[in-house]
C-alpha cells in the first residue's frame, strides 16, 4: 500500500457514514466508528487543497423494499429525516457539503452512490478525474460505489484505513477489496 498525494482533479466520496451504520445503530457495521478520525483527516486535506468532497447517504422511505417487512434483507435503517439517517456525530461535514441521497423511493434500492443519482454528472461538471472512496460498508456500498466509479471512467483510490466491512460471511470484506482491485481501483490510505 503506497501513499497517494492528492492533486487538482481529485474528489473525495464519503460513503454512508450514518448513525444507523455505526455500532449500536439499526444496521451497525462492526468497528464502523473507528474510521471517522481517518475520514476527518482526509476531508480536512481535501478542504485545505480546495478539492470537492461528496457525502452519500441512504435515505429510505419507512416502507422501503430493502426492509425485512417488505421481503428485503435488512432491518429498517436510514429512514429519511430520522436520527439514524443523520451523518455520524463525529464526522466532519461542512455546512455547504455536497450530499448525495440514494435509494430515496420505496421500490428502489441502491448500494452505489452513482445509482439513480447525479453524482457522475456532478463529478464531471467539477472536472474530476479521480475519486478517493472511504466509508461504510466495504462489502456493500463502498464496493458498489468503487465499481460504478470505474465503470463511469474515473480513476479510483480506495482508502483502506477508512473502510469497514459488515462480514455477513467471514471474508466478505477481503473479497470485496479484491473485486475493487480487479475493477482497476488502487488501494491507498488517508495519509496523503
Catalytic residues: 16, 102, 141
What burial letters (b/e) apply to 57-75, b meaning 16+ CB within 10 Å?
A: bbbbbeebebbeeeeeebe
Residue 105 CB, shortest distance to Zn ion, in Å, is 12
As a whole number of angstroms, the longest Cα–Cα distance in the chain is 46
**3-state secondary structure at position 14:** strand
The residues in 20-59 that bind Zn ion, with binding defined as CB under 5 A, are 58
Pairwise CA distance, residues 181 & 175, whole Å? 10
> CB–CB of 163/38 below 8 Å?
no
Residue 148 binds to Zn ion (criterion: CB under 5 A)? no
All 3 cell numbers of residue 28? 451497525
# chain residues binding Zn ion, by CB under 5 A = 1
Residue 109 CB, shortest distance to Zn ion, in Å, is 6
Residue 183 CB, shortest distance to Zn ion, in Å, is 22
Closer to Zn ion by Cβ: residue 58 or 139: 58
**Residues in contact with Zn ion, shown as a per-residue x/- string from 52 to 91 under the rule CB under 5 A:** ------x---------------------------------
Q: Which residues bind Zn ion (CB under 5 A)?
A: 58
Amino acid at each position: 500500500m503506497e501513499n497517494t498525494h492528492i492533486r487538482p482533479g481529485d474528489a473525495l466520496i464519503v460513503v454512508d457514514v450514518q448513525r444507523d451504520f455505526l455500532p449500536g445503530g439499526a444496521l451497525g457495521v462492526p468497528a464502523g466508528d473507528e474510521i471517522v478520525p481517518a475520514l476527518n483527516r482526509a476531508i480536512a486535506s481535501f478542504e485545505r487543497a480546495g478539492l470537492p468532497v461528496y457525502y452519500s447517504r441512504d435515505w429510505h422511505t419507512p416502507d422501503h423494499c430493502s426492509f425485512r417487512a417488505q421481503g428485503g434483507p435488512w432491518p429498517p435503517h436510514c429512514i429519511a429525516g430520522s436520527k439514524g439517517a443523520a451523518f455520524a456525530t463525529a464526522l466532519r461535514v461542512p455546512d455547504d457539503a455536497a450530499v448525495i441521497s440514494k435509494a430515496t423511493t420505496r421500490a428502489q434500492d441502491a448500494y452505489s452512490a452513482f445509482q439513480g443519482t447525479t453524482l457522475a454528472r456532478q463529478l464531471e461538471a467539477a472536472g474530476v478525474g479521480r475519486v478517493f472512496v472511504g466509508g461504510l460498508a466495504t462489502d456493500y456500498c463502498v464496493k458498489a460505489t468503487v465499481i460504478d466509479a470505474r465503470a463511469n471512467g474515473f480513476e479510483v483510490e480506495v482508502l483502506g484505513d477508512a473502510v469497514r466491512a459488515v462480514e455477513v460471511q467471514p471474508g466478505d470484506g477481503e473479497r470485496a477489496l479484491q473485486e475493487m482491485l480487479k475493477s482497476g481501483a488502487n488501494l491507498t490510505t488517508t495519509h496523503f
